[in-house]
Structure formats: C-alpha cells, structure tokens
Structure 1
Amino acid sequence: MTRLLVTGGAGFIGSNFVHHVLENTDHEVTVLDKLTYAGNLASLDGLPENRFTFVKGDIADAELVDELFPTVDAVVHYAAESHNDNSLDNPRPFLDTNIIGTYTLLEAARRHDTRLHHISTDEVYGDLELDDPARFTEQTPYNPSSPYSSTKAGSDLLVRAWVRSFGVRATISNCSNNYGPYQHIEKFIPRQITNVIRGIRPKLYGAGENVRDWIHADDHSSAVLRILDAGVIGETYLIGADGEKNNKDVVELILTLMGQDAGAYDHVTDRAGHDLRYAIDWTKLRDELGWQPKYRDFEAGMAATIDWYRAHEDWWAPAKDGVEAFYASKGQ
C-alpha cells in the first residue's frame, strides 16, 4: 500500500485523480488544498474514510508541508492557479501558488527524499499554427503566452533544477486540455453546458477556430498513476489522447447533444494572446510506459459530461451567477 499526498485534490483534475486512485488501487490518499474558489469539498464526497484524509492548507506554507511529507510515500502536485482569463486580470496569485508553492514542495521533497510528480500543461509550449502538422513533444522549446502558462513553465524549470542540482526524485507531465466531471464552470466546456441548461446562449471567443487537444480527466488520471509507478526520475512525459477539436466544433457538438440548434451561440471579443492550437505527441508515454487512453470517442465522452452537469446542478449552481457576471463585465 502506498500513501499519496495530492496537492490541489479538491480541484477539477486533482479530484478526478483522487477518485481514480481510490477506486482502482489500494492506496491511501491525503489531499492538501487551500479551498480557493476553484476548490470544492463536494468534489470529494463519498470517498472511503479509512483511506482518505483532507487537510485544508496552502502549499506555500512550509511548516505545514514539512509536517505532511514524512507521513506519505509520494506526492502528486496538482495545486495551481490555472485559469488564463484570471491570470490576465490579476497575475499575482499565479506567482504565489505556481512558483512559490512549487518551490516549497520541492524543498520539502529534498529534505525528506520524497518521490514527487509535478502536473503541468501543454500551454508552456505556446501554440502551433492551425495548418502546422507538428505536435508538441518533450523536446519542444518553452514559449508561454500568458501569466498562467509562464508561471507553469517556471514551475517546470524549478522541478528540473531540483532534480539536477539536489537529486530530488521527481517527474513531470504536461497534459492537453481536460474535460469531465467536477470542472469549474469558468472553464470553456462546463461554461457552455451550464449556459444551455440555464437557457443562456453559449459564448465563443472570436471565430472559434482555436484548436485544443482534449482528453478525459479519467484518462489523465490513469496516465499520471502510470508515470508515478513506472516513470524514470528526471523525465518529462506528455499526456494526450489525439483529441484535437476547434472551439466552434465543440460548442456546436454541445448544442446538438443538448437538443439545440447547432448555431445557437454568440461570438464575443477574443481573449488577449489567445493561443491558436495545441496538439500533443504522447508517443513516449505509449512506447516507454505502455499507456493508452480509454476514452477515444470524444462525442460519447462529451455526452457523459453533459449528463453529469445536468445531474449535479447543486454542485455548480452556487458559482454560476458570479462567473457570468465576471465575463459580462468584460463583454464576454
């Protein structure tokens, strides 16, 4: 049995990982989460009390982190400020959490010789042209576009430096865009789904030609668990599922699956510095660690995600009005 500390485990991707681990292994999990607006304890409802512990706290709190590390065998670091629009509005929290928080965890891993896996994003690589056949690989140079992606790039570089300089036992994964249950409704897919549920027309940035490489959160979770079990210390692994779709097609699919006219959405002012296209080459993860995604049918995965949001309005409704007020103030 392995004892895992999962930072940011009350957030979207972190909570999906916690559920995946507790449902598919005999590991014990402790979640450390600050419970900012993006963290929700309801995302952790129903977990087995004998194998799950929750600790409210900040990953930048060195004293608390130092108390927790000796109680676990490995740390999976999801905690991050992650919303691009918020980073453009107020970058400072992204520095505090993504840079200082990661530094604090690395120092604890160094002191206690604790295995650490760092969760990152494909956005550190910048973007690709829409007609470029290339995909991001582990060798793609970093070229971040926003305060969010630049602080995630910085945190990745800190991990690499602590591995090389101090022998910290760490790995990194950079994943494409996730979708699935428990995603905050400020994000693209759940915002559009909950808009339709509420009778609000979905909103599409610009012409909607921007392409994202979508992966179901449960596939992300299984990949992280595989890296934690078999990944080579110091290595970076890209996680994807060949799910490239442009935003226009995604909105139209959501509307169609929800019984609406596919064109029943509004174009709004594009985001500043909006990356054109992300695409992940996950060959290394497949060939070296033998991992494969389970959810290859995007339409079926989207239908299941829509069903989840329809069935869990009590989970997302408290945040909905505030999110829409924020976007309305920006004409979006």
Structure 2
Amino acid sequence: MSQLEIVMYVGFVLSAYSVIGNDVIQTLGTFLSSNEHRKWWVLWIFAASILGVVLVYGWFINGGDVSYGRLIGDPDSHSFSNPVYKNPADIVNFGWPYLLPPIVLLIITRYGIPVSTSFLILTFFNPKNLEDMVYKSMSGYLVAFGVAILIYLAIAKRLEKHFIENPASKKQIKLWTVLQWLSTGFLWSQWLIQDFANIYVYLPRQVSSANLIFSLGIFLVLLAYIFYSKGGAIQRIVKSKTNTMDIRSATIIDFSYALILLFFKELNNIPMSTTWVFLGLLAGREIGIKYFAYGAVSNDTLKDLGKDLGKVFFGLAVSVGLVFLLRFLTVGV
C-alpha cells in the first residue's frame, strides 16, 4: 500500500471517528436523552438502518458519489453553488499534514467543544471555499435562531410550559414516541446528506463498492460506540438545555432542525456547518421559552448561550490556523 493510500484510509477513519463523535449528538442528542430507558442497541439498530439506506441510496443514484454532490463541482470554476474538492490523488504533496484536522477535532471533542467539522476538515481540501462556507453557516445560525424564536413565540406558553410542569402520561408517551422516532429519522437522514462530505473527502470522489462496504462497517462500529457511551462529552450541551429530556420537547426540536437542514440542502450544494444551525436553534429555543413562557431571560442563560457560540468561533479560528499551518508544511497546495 502506497503512502497516498495509507494517508487516505487513516484520514478517513480518523475523520469518521471525529465527525461522528462531535456532530452526531447534534441530531441524536435529544433522541438519546429522551430514550435513556431503552437498550442502547435498540436505538443503534434504528439509527444504523437509516444510515445504511441513506449511504447506499446516495451511492447508487449518484454513480458512486455518496456526498450527494457536495464534493464534486466544476474544477474550472469557483462557484458559490457548485464548489469542488479535489481527489486526494490530485493534490500536490498530499500526505501526513492532511491528518491534522481530524486529529485536532478528536482532541477538541474530548473536552466537549462542539466545533464545526466542516471548517476543520473541508477547508484543507479547498481553502478558497472557506468564505462561502462561513457565510452559509452564519446564515444557518441566524435562520435557525429566528425560526426558533417564532416557533416558541407560538408554543412556549401553551405547550412548552405545559410540558415542563406536567410530565407526559403513559398514553401521551406512546403517541409522542412514534412522532419522535419519525422526526429523528427525518433529521438523521438530512444530517447525513450534509455531513457525509466531511468524511468522504479523504476517499476518491467515486467510491468503489469495496470502499462502500468498508466505510459502512466503520460507521456502524463507531455509531454503536456512541450509543453505548450514551453520547459522550458533547451530550452535556444537549442535557443542559431546558426540558430536552422530555420526549415531546425533543420531538419539536428534531422536526424543526430537520426542516431547516432540508431548506439549506435544497438551497445549494455548498457544505455548511450543521453545528452552527443546531446551536442557533437551541439558542433561539432557550430565549423563546424563558421570555415567552416565564417573562424573563436570566443572565446565566445568556452566558451559557454565549459560551456555546464562543466554542464554534473557536473552532473557526482553529480551522483558519490549520490552513495556514498546512501551507507552511507543504508546497504547492
């Protein structure tokens, strides 16, 4: 096996582990929190089934491109709606420095910091696209924040306050369990379509059937670990927000998040930070519940939300720094 192939596969595995460890909790965090009473492997089978369908379906209909067009563009032009990320084999001096992003992401994830994997990883393969990714991701944060404010303007006092003060009955739990699993499945599929690009950027743009099977096996093992460990450090951010353990509240969060991701998926093919969208939604939700249901937003709440936003800007700063480091370590990139 050549050095190129070694770096490709090691980069893929590290990227898969770091992206799943950091980003999966955005989509499955509320699902895990509100289903803690269930066996971990039951939840894993559900999520693994959707992952397998989305991956294989994308590979089949797109001629081997599992990124749903987010890595393949016109190599002769730089377009906001049609970015291009080169194959590793086409990059001059593609080597060990390209393993830095997932390694840094692994370290950051251990401290529970929800940084953007899109900025950390994809920027290495197309530094010129960073500006467009930041623009779309910031737009995602603002749209999610605004949507959450509007949603909780309508439901904070009538529904969310009722959920907080009145635990769900057994009959309600049965109904909301069905609704939540449906909304989680919808959200999980939309997230996978967005974030497969962050992992498969290390493999050829046309994924072979052997690499498809290999990557699916890696995903299933890593996903099993996430469910077995109940989400890891990032899960603390989800649990710290108001009433996310309630299956009714979790369902509303998941469905809202999925609709926002669907909107940005249809907008254009440029990758974006789903982390920013997720934190924007949670921030708008916290402010909406506290203000519209209880009449005031505490300083502690604002400080907590500020810390979350600071963490994603920290990830952006690290991404930019790594790009400059890569240019220093390599020639011709």
Higher helix proportion, which one? 2
TM-score, normalised to structure 2, is 0.24
RCO higher in 1 or 2 (8 Å CA, sep ≥ 6)?
A: 2
TM-score, normalised to structure 1, is 0.24
